[in-house]
Amino acid sequence: MQAANLAGVKRFVMLSSAYSMDQAMWGKVKTLRDITDYNIARYFADKWLVDESGLDYTLVQAGILTEEPGTGKIELNPAQSDSNAIPDVAHTIVAALAEPATVKKVFIIKNGSTPIEEALKTC
């Protein structure tokens, strides 16, 4: 983030973990309980990006990454986090760069039925 600022790069998209900024969820979701140290690190990195970086950020919070074929479809801000095909996570990150609706937004994704570009327009 600091290097982006020094280089004059304003647009910054970062992959994070589902519920990284919601500490109450860390004890409620088993997969999150198992990675508490990671959640702590993510929390501080994510908070810095959102509150201190000054960048035009997008924070993509994914659930469990799975090695399966992508579908080009996601669900945005689901009631419960779930699995994410790695190709769809990568597609979401790239698509977020071009979608103005994602600037200064934090959102959770999971495998879903809405085309990625269409879902991101609703941020």
Q: Are strands 105-111 and 73-76 parallel, antiparallel or unpaired?
A: antiparallel
* 54-90 confidence digits (pLDDT tens): 999 999 999 899 999 999 999 999 988 889 999 999 9
Residue 40 has pLDDT above 90, yes or no: yes
Cβ pair 59, 50 in contact under 8 A: yes
Beta bridge partners of 12: 57
Residue 29 has pLDDT above 90, yes or no: no
**Catalytic residue list contains 57:** no
Given CA atoms 82, 88, 90, 95 in this order, what sign does their dihedral have? negative
- What's the confidence (pLDDT) of residue 117? 98
User: Of 19, 38, 43, 57, which residue is the catalytic one?
Assistant: 38
Q: Of all residues in the chain, what percent carry a pLDDT higher than 90?
A: 83
Q: Of all residues in the chain, what percent carry a pLDDT higher than 70?
A: 100
Q: Cα(112)–Cα(109) distance, rounded to whole angstroms?
A: 8
